[in-house]
């Protein structure tokens, strides 16, 4: 485990150098708390990047396994190498491709879903994971407050063109989860904002 801690530090440095948007330091305690509470056996992640959040979750839960999806083949290769060095390759299925295309090919159910891929597709991801959720599944979505532009301090600003679709889709995501029957959702301000939806049926 000490070795995994060193590896996580190395990944943080790698992410800084390559400007990879891994889970921010501010969001990590919330992520870990949520993972612990959900205590999943099977995890689904959309947006692997270098595998940082996946490894954090796997370190926390020695019996859990993860299916994680990344569309960028180069960064996925980096994740694969980190998983193997961390000794978790056997608990990891890394799928390379567009999450929206791969979701319908998955089978079984998941107890915890971490949505952290293209922000403009969050509503599609939410709908796409519904058939894959276990009865008491938890769905966490990162970056839902995107720099305060979605709700809160800067939400009155008209977002600049390159952010507009993303911001509108993140607002749509929050409306969707807050009105979803059978779910209880809380939006936490930590980091870039994280929405946690507990399925409660
Ligand atoms: N979860 C990671 C960070 C993910 S960054 C962590 O916290 O450590 C977001 C990643 O999602 C990027 O690597 C990007 O290539 C990937 N991505 C974006 N859109 C995607 C899509 N539609 N399908 C799969 N991966 C996607
Ligand atoms: Mg993120």
User: How far, in Å, are 28, 61, 164, 191 from residue 24 at the CA level?
Assistant: 6, 20, 23, 6
Backbone angles phi, psi at 144, to 5 degrees: -70, -15
Q: Residue 53: nearest ligand to its CA?
A: 1
pTM value?
0.97
Residue nearest to atom 22 of ligand 1 (CA): 98
pLDDT of residue 1: 57
Of all atoms in ligand 1, which is nearest to the CA of residue 70?
25
Low-confidence residues in the chain, pLDDT < 50: none
- In the Cβ-directed half-sphere of 84, how many Cα atoms lie within 13 Å? 7
pLDDT of residue 2: 63
Number of domains in the chain: 1
pLDDT of residue 162: 87
Residues 6+ apart with CB under 8 A from 141: 114, 115, 116, 122, 125, 126, 173, 177, 194, 195, 197
Of all atoms in ligand 1, which is nearest to the CA of residue 114?
1
pLDDT of residue 160: 85
Distance 129 CA to ligand 2 centre (A): 18
CATH number at residue 115: 3.40.50.150
> Pocket residues for ligand 1 (CB within 6 Å)?
21-23, 46-47, 49, 52-53, 69-72, 75, 98-100, 116-118, 121
pLDDT of residue 22: 97
pLDDT of residue 26: 96
Of all atoms in ligand 1, which is nearest to the CA of residue 72?
15
CA distance 201 to 191: 29
Q: What is the domain range of residue 15?
A: 2-199
> pLDDT tens for residues 85-141?
999 999 999 999 999 999 999 999 999 999 999 999 999 999 999 999 999 999 999
Closest Cα partner for 146 from 132, 160, 133, 136?
A: 160
- In the Cβ-directed half-sphere of 136, how many Cα atoms lie within 13 Å? 5
CA distance 113 to 138: 6
The region, left, alpha or beta by phi > 0 then psi within -120 to 50, assigned to residue 152 is left
């Amino acid at each position: 485990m000490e070795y995994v801690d060193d590896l996580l530090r190395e990944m943080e440095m790698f992410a800084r150098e390559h400007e990879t948007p891994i889970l921010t330091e501010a969001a990590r305690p919330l992520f870990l708390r949520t993972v612990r509470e959900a205590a999943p056996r099977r995890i689904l992640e959309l947006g692997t990047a270098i595998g940082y959040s996946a490894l954090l979750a796997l370190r926390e839960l020695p019996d859990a396994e993860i299916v994680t999806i990344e569309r960028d083949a180069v960064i996925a290769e980096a994740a694969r190498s980190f998983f193997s060095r961390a000794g978790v390759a056997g608990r990891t299925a890394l799928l390379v491709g567009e999450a929206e295309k791969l979701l319908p090919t998955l089978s079984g159910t998941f107890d915890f879903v971490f949505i952290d891929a293209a922000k403009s597709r969050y509503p599609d991801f939410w709908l796409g994971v519904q058939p894959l959720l276990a009865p008491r599944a938890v769905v966490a979505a990162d970056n839902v407050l995107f720099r305060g532009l979605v709700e809160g301090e800067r939400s009155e600003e008209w977002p600049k063109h390159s952010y507009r679709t993303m911001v509108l889709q993140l607002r749509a995501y929050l409306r969707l989860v807050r009105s979803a029957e059978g779910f209880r959702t809380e939006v936490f301000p930590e980091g870039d904002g994280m929405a946690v939806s507990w399925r409660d049926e």
